[in-house]
Structure 1
Amino acid sequence: MSPISEQMAFSGPAGTEPHTTSSPLPDLTVISVPEEPPHVTRRTDFGFLPIPKHLRHDPARPILFNIVTNIFFAAATTFIVANLDYVDPILIELSVYFKTDYNRIAQIPTLIQGGYGTGLLLICPLGDLVRRRALLLCCVGISTALTVGLCITKSLVVFETLSFLIGMASIVPQIMVPLAADLAPAHRRATAISIVLAGLSLGVLMARVVSGIIAQYTDWRNVYFMALGLQAATLLSLWATVPDYAPKTKKLTYLDIMWSLVTILVTEPQVVQAALIGFCGSIFLTAYWITATFLLGDDPYNYSTFAIGMFGLVGMCGVFMSPVLGIIVDKLVPWWGALYATIALLGCMALYTGAAGVHIAAVVVFMIGLDLFRQLQMVCLTTSVLSIAGEMRARMNALLILSLFIGKVIGSSGGTAIFVAHGWRMMGVWMIGLVILQIILLFARGPHVDRKTWLGWQGGMKYRDIRPQAEEAREVDAEKGPVVEMAEVKGEVEAEERPAVVRA
């Protein structure tokens, strides 16, 4: 720079350090913002199946998640999860048809549940890695095709193999729950989750009742022909209603996703707390429904098998209340909702222990309370887990449901052993102990502790949840994230471009 230029650059009074232009102001051509590649709309699934135009992923035109879509999600979970329980009422008919003993035929429900557990572990985490629309269509398409085999096979080995594979493909509800949590606005997340979970519970209850009625009056194969039609209708409805979204994590591999399941268990105390509470709840819920046949079929009730099956309809009262509970949970800190539900469950267990074998009214009230408050507890636990980190919702939900699955296995064997050896009253004492353990687990980690805090209390006792509003204010769609980041960088560049004010 020439002496004249240096003198012109100085504009302050004598004694002030000269302001030189030796360092030029930042230029946008130097500080460049990395641009995202232009968005290309995906028009087909699997390269050949057209995606309806209104469901195609377009960051500039986000798809609204409404109550109709939510109900379609719930219906899909109902008809797919029912695959796990159709077989229970027809085991005798299957043993006669395949000419085998009860010990061999009783392995089929175990194979179905084993396939379901395998799917939870190996397939559900893919919801964080691949497009969930394609994953859902693939799972439902496979289960539908395999059900054709159940309708026509004459081989017990083939029937067992198909049952295991259908169990693996029937993890659709566990893909739908985190998807609903992603699509719903934060202030309606618990409501959206509760509607999908209601569909799941309804499927479990419906499968046994409908399967038993069909097998009572027609051939057992008609159960699977019905299942085939329902799954085909579900496949069509999912194609017409599930929006297409880009994968949530583009830089991870399948092995990375599976390893992260382990890391979540040692780095996310809220997931572990919810999983342990859900594990205990799954034990007593399964234990009761497994032993209800013994309770109602023996003195003093002596109900028929058909009448016992009809008691499953009583549990639907709690299921249909689930969406109302979700609206309540949306206004509460989920921890408090879980505490209210658990205290109510303790009262239900006390009622069972005192009067389950005395009067049928106590059993009916217990059934309604058990399903209602257990449903509320699960909505709260699931909402709390799926609110932690959006990019890991599928994996966190998979771990939560896997804990329920393990609890179901323990509850079916442990509950039967206790009931047969010691009767219904000792069964009630055992269930009371499990609910008390849930309360201890809840109080071990308070409602407002930091995300990485394992034990303790902090942040007060407030019960209303103001986080959804704050979350909606700061949460940005993954598709819009780069736009916001570029705007922030642009603001920083403009701030740097402004010449510094040199006061005289």
Structure 2
Amino acid sequence: MKNNLSNPTLYLLSVSAGLVVANLYYNQPLLHDIALDLKVTDAQVSNVALSTQIGYALGLLLIIPLGDKISNIKIIKIDFLVLVLSLIGAAFSHSLIFLIISSFLIGFTSTLPQIFVPMVAHLSNDETRGRAIGIVMSGLLIGILGSRVLSGLFGEYFGWRSVFYGAATLMALFFILLNAKIPEIKPDYKESYSKLMKSLWFYFKKDPTIRLATLRGALAFGGLSAFWTTLVFLMEDSFHYGSAVAGGFGLFGVAGALGAVYVGKLNNRVSKNKLIISGAILLILSWLIFLVSSHSIVGLIIGVILIDLGVQALHITNQNIIFSKNTEARNRVNTIYMVGFFIGGALGTSLGAIAWNSFGWTGVSVLGLLISVTILIVQLITSKRII
């Protein structure tokens, strides 16, 4: 199979993926500032992050399967319009409920990177697919982590609303670039939308590798979300730092995310089982370090690098596994995987807030450790039977 994806287009998709997915995470370092501005508690304002992730999971479920039925260009045009309006709505919010609704819509429409990943898998050949997915995932992961840095800085010095105004402007600019540069893919699926959605269950039921990849991804992202949601509270409680410092931890996570391209290449040469076990071990180590680092900035920095390396190793390997099969339904199998992934994130956000309010940083660290150990146990039990 010929590789139909040029490097300039691949890197445009990578940058775009990072900027779009960043919309999901701008609010996390700002939660304390938003709580003060809207006069609500830290527990109440955590619903802003939760609603964003729930919206994203639903957007994945309802929008991304359309990539197997409708032109990618049509999806991008409609999605960007609603996304820009939602970001502007968040910036104008003067009540918690309106911000929660706007955040839900931001999450719902920030699903485009999950169109991009199956797109590069479709346009690449077997020899270049791992590298291409790794490059897009590298951009996506840097967007996730870098978003916290930017939002923390802008939030502290220009107010939290400036972050959403800036994001709306970026989305409008990149819509123009994508519309001009990305290749159009016209899928062959001709059945109705209801049959398209019903087929999700068919693929989930028939392929155990999809189910296991979804479970691993959900657990890993649940732990990561618990960490980032509660880090800003730890910064205030133990170090008396603001959102800029909490967001600045994303810089250290970027160092881990830069390894995404390397992990993608390793998927063509190293056993998937070894990569998954290695990722789980990295997560366990990161949470052990977090557990003893409630008053150590250095410990937290080391933990951030390890946790992001571990999550990316699991995530990219999971996607390589599911994209290697069911080539006619890559958007649908990606939907199954990513819906589970972000449901895990939403649960991790909620459980992280509960653990923080009940047991402080020790509770959050024990939660993350239990989640990571579960990933390793599941993989050890199933690795000899199913990748």
Structure-1-length-normalised TM-score:
0.69
Amino acid at match of 1:348: S
User: SS of 1:187's equivalent?
Assistant: coil
2:213 to 274, 279, 290: 274
The residue that corresponds to 1:136 in the other structure is 76
CA contact (8 A) 1:291 1:419 kept: yes
Residues 150-207 of structure 1, C-alpha deviation per residue, up to 9 Å, x if partnerless? 5567787665544433322111111111111111221221221122222222222222
Amino acid at match of 2:372: V
Shift of 1:125: 0.9
1:401 to 338, 347, 363: 338
2:123 to 168, 183, 196: 183
Deviates most, 358-367 or 101-110 = 101-110
- Alignment of 1:337 with 2:337, yes or no, is no
Amino acid at match of 2:127: H
Residues 130-161 of structure 1, C-alpha deviation per residue, up to 9 Å, x if partnerless? 11222123212332244445556778766554
Shift of 1:380: 0.4
Task: Summarize the alignment of residues 31-430 of structure 1 with structure 2, pairs less than 5 Å apart.
Answer: 64-90=4-30, 101-102=40-41, 107-150=47-90, 160-250=100-190, 252-299=191-238, 301-353=239-291, 355-357=292-294, 359-425=296-362, 427-430=364-367
Counterpart Cα distance in 1 of 2:366 and 2:98: 42
Q: Percent identity?
A: 28
The residue that corresponds to 1:56 in the other structure is none
Residues 78-136 of structure 1, C-alpha deviation per residue, up to 9 Å, x if partnerless? 22122223334445665677x66457765444433332222111111111111122212
Counterpart Cα distance in 2 of 1:294 and 1:108: 15
Counterpart Cα distance in 2 of 1:363 and 1:196: 27
Distance of aligned partners of 1:296 and 1:94 in 2 relative to their CA distance in 1, 3 Å threshold: closer
Counterpart Cα distance in 1 of 2:218 and 2:24: 19
Distance of aligned partners of 1:357 and 1:166 in 2 relative to their CA distance in 1, 3 Å threshold: closer
Counterpart Cα distance in 2 of 1:148 and 1:441: 43
Counterpart Cα distance in 2 of 1:329 and 1:273: 17
Amino acid at match of 2:254: M
Shift of 1:356: 2.0
The residue that corresponds to 1:8 in the other structure is none
Deviates most, 114-123 or 162-171 = 162-171
Counterpart Cα distance in 2 of 1:423 and 1:95: 19
CA contact (8 A) 1:208 1:309 kept: yes
CA contact (8 A) 1:356 1:424 kept: no
Shift of 1:304: 4.2
Distance of aligned partners of 1:364 and 1:145 in 2 relative to their CA distance in 1, 3 Å threshold: closer
Counterpart Cα distance in 1 of 2:46 and 2:383: 43
The residue that corresponds to 1:48 in the other structure is none
Counterpart Cα distance in 2 of 1:159 and 1:430: 28
CA contact (8 A) 2:216 2:375 kept: yes
Unpaired segments of 5 or more residues in structure 1?
1-61, 448-455, 459-504
Distance of aligned partners of 1:236 and 1:255 in 2 relative to their CA distance in 1, 3 Å threshold: same
Structure-2-length-normalised TM-score:
0.88
Shift of 1:361: 2.5
Counterpart Cα distance in 1 of 2:95 and 2:368: 41
Counterpart Cα distance in 1 of 2:58 and 2:121: 23
CA contact (8 A) 1:188 1:330 kept: no
Distance of aligned partners of 1:219 and 1:249 in 2 relative to their CA distance in 1, 3 Å threshold: same
Counterpart Cα distance in 2 of 1:425 and 1:193: 36
Residues 237-263 of structure 1, C-alpha deviation per residue, up to 9 Å, x if partnerless? 21122111221423x211111111112
Counterpart Cα distance in 2 of 1:156 and 1:286: 21
Distance of aligned partners of 1:372 and 1:122 in 2 relative to their CA distance in 1, 3 Å threshold: same
Residues 52-82 of structure 1, C-alpha deviation per residue, up to 9 Å, x if partnerless? xxxxxxxxxx882122211111111122122
Distance of aligned partners of 1:366 and 1:89 in 2 relative to their CA distance in 1, 3 Å threshold: closer
Distance of aligned partners of 1:305 and 1:158 in 2 relative to their CA distance in 1, 3 Å threshold: closer
Distance of aligned partners of 1:292 and 1:196 in 2 relative to their CA distance in 1, 3 Å threshold: same
User: SS of 1:315's equivalent?
Assistant: helix
Counterpart Cα distance in 1 of 2:47 and 2:366: 30
User: SS of 1:84's equivalent?
Assistant: coil
CA contact (8 A) 2:209 2:386 kept: no
Unpaired segments of 5 or more residues in structure 2?
none
Counterpart Cα distance in 1 of 2:193 and 2:247: 42
Counterpart Cα distance in 2 of 1:443 and 1:88: 34
CA contact (8 A) 1:335 1:380 kept: no
Amino acid at match of 1:211: S
Counterpart Cα distance in 2 of 1:446 and 1:223: 44
The residue that corresponds to 1:439 in the other structure is 376
Deviates most, 63-72 or 115-124 = 63-72
CA contact (8 A) 2:283 2:372 kept: yes
Shift of 1:457: 6.5
CA contact (8 A) 1:147 1:227 kept: yes
